Amino acid sequence: MKARCFFLFIFFVFLCAAARHRLAYAQSVPDGLYQTPHVLYVGDRGSLVYPLDIFATLPDGELVFPDGLPRTDDIVIHKVDLDRRGRRVIIEFQAFRTGVVPLPAIQLSGGTELKGLRVSIASILDSEKGSMTLSPSAGLLSAPGTFWIITAFSVLLVLVISAIVLLWVKGSALFAGVRGALRTFLLLHWINTRLFRLEKRLALGQITEKDTLSALSGDLRVFLSRFWKRPCYAVSAEEFLYFELPKPGAAGTSAGAGTVQLLSVLSAFFKRCDEVRFASNTVTREVVRSVCAEAKSIVNGRELTESSPASARRQPHHRH
């Protein structure tokens, strides 16, 4: 009797030792298996906790995957590891379809294998109402910021229409004024640039004093011809006293009292240029600079600006 008990004890010890060198439940799913988080949606990353049997163990050292971590079209295994006590296998995964998704078999070192595992993936659809399709798209006005976009577009549309009507009614006069102001600005810029270059060439000795006065007289006549839209190329100094300029309210008529002073100044200026230019004695550089300064004063003066045709049209006409 004692011998039988001894042999039974030896057999039981060998049976337990053999069980410790294989993975229990390697071919079936053990109790206590759970996933975290409990509710997992498509694309979320979760974990499956696989508890080991009390008599089971894994080979010492790090887990070795001979064929690498498996993956399918429905699920990807990112990591397989043991907890700190070595009693649970933690499988990190990511599923890409809803429902009960089976995990592929995971081959571990030592010939052990985890298979038959499944995870439950929830759907964002409202399954309680029996709806398996997405809800219809929301209305346009429910989108954030749509009200302000529509309001801004409406205000912009009203402004554009108002601008078109204004240009239709008063566009001719408005554009004429803009074109006139731009034309005056460009002409003044041109003559001032010419005067500056003449003075610079004179200072560098690239042109003589008499040639400077000749170029100055010619450039100023060209400027006045373009400014008044009347030929001034061959007008003498004396003829400027009787030159016809537009007067307020009647462009094309003879000059009024407001332009007499301007014409007198121009006549005196061109007369001085001719006297200095054709004088027999030598012309000094200081005299030429004085004439250039006088030309700048004339072209940038208020009297010349007010004598332009555009300025004459803008001024009111008073009937007596």
Q: Which of 63, 90, 123 is the last residue of a domain?
A: 123
Name the percent of the chain lying above pLDDT 70: 67
Q: Does residue 155 have a pLDDT over 90?
A: yes
pLDDT greater than 50 at residue 259: yes
Q: Is the peptide bond before 37 cis (omega within 30 degrees of 0)?
A: yes
The one-letter amino acid code at 6 reads F
pLDDT band at 77 (very low <50, low <70, confident <90, very high): confident
pLDDT digits (tens, 9 = 90+) for 280-312: 667 788 888 888 898 888 888 887 877 776 655
Confidence tier at 103 by pLDDT (50, 70, 90): confident
209 located within any domain: yes
Domain extent at residue 92: 24-123
As a residue count, the chain comes to 320
- CATH code where residue 81 lies: 2.60.40
> And the tokens for 20?
């410790």
Query: What pLDDT shows up at residue 247?
Result: 56
User: Do residues 102 and 185 both lie within one domain?
Assistant: no
Domain for residue 135, yes or no? no
DSSP of 289-311, one letter per residue? HHHHHHHHHHHTSHHHHHTSHHH
Whether residues 116 and 225 fall in one domain: no
| CB 232, CB 224: distance < 8 Å | yes
pLDDT at 148: 82
Residue 224: both structure tokens together? 């006045």
Task: Tell me the two tokens of residue 21.
Answer: 């060198």
Is-contact 262 304, C-beta < 8 A? Answer: yes
Q: Are residues 184 and 296 in the same domain?
A: yes
Burial of 295 (0-12, 13-18, 19+ CB in 10 A): buried
Question: Per the domain annotation, does 165 fall within a domain?
Answer: no
Residue 89 located in a structural domain: yes
Q: Is the per-residue pLDDT at 160 higher than 90?
A: yes
pLDDT at 114 over 50: yes
Asked whether the predicted pLDDT for residue 15 surpasses 60, the reply is no
Mean pLDDT of the chain: 74
- Does 236 or 87 have the greater pLDDT score? 236
Q: How many separate domains does the chain show?
A: 2
Residue 5 domain-assigned? no
The Cα 199–Cα 215 span in angstroms is 11
pLDDT band at 66 (very low <50, low <70, confident <90, very high): low
* Predicted local confidence at residue 317, as pLDDT: 45
pLDDT value, residue 253: 41
Q: Among 127-136, 178-187, 232-241, 269-278, where is mean pLDDT lowest? A: 127-136
Q: What is the sign, positive or negative, of the torsion defined by CA atoms of 123, 129, 132, 138?
A: negative
Mapped onto helix, strand or coil, the DSSP state of residue 88 is strand
Tell whether 112 and 191 lie within a shared domain.
Answer: no
Judgement on whether residues 103 and 197 belong to the same structural domain of the protein: no
In a domain, 9, yes or no: no
Are 61 and 182 in a shared domain? no
Same domain, 179 and 310: yes
Residue 42 included in any domain: yes
Q: Are residues 182 and 71 in the same domain?
A: no
Model confidence at 261: pLDDT above 60? yes
> Interhelix angle for 285-299 vs 209-228, to 10°?
10
Q: 208-226, pLDDT tens digit by residue? A: 888 888 898 889 989 988 8
Structural domain includes residue 83:
yes
Least Cα distance to 246 among 176, 306, 296, 286 occurs for 306
Closest CA to 117 of 62, 19, 53, 47: 47
For residue 316, whether the previous peptide bond is cis, meaning omega lies within 30 degrees of 0, is no
Question: 3-class SS at 163?
Answer: helix
pLDDT: which is higher, 129 or 94: 94
> Do residues 306 and 181 both lie within one domain?
yes
Does residue 241 sit in the same domain as residue 109? no
SS3 49: strand
Q: Is the same domain home to 306 and 208?
A: yes
What is the rounded CA–CA span in Å between residue 105 and residue 27?
A: 10
CA nearest neighbour of 47 among 92, 110, 12, 94: 92
Is 182 found in the same domain as 110? no
pLDDT greater at residue 126 or residue 169: 169
pLDDT at 158: 93
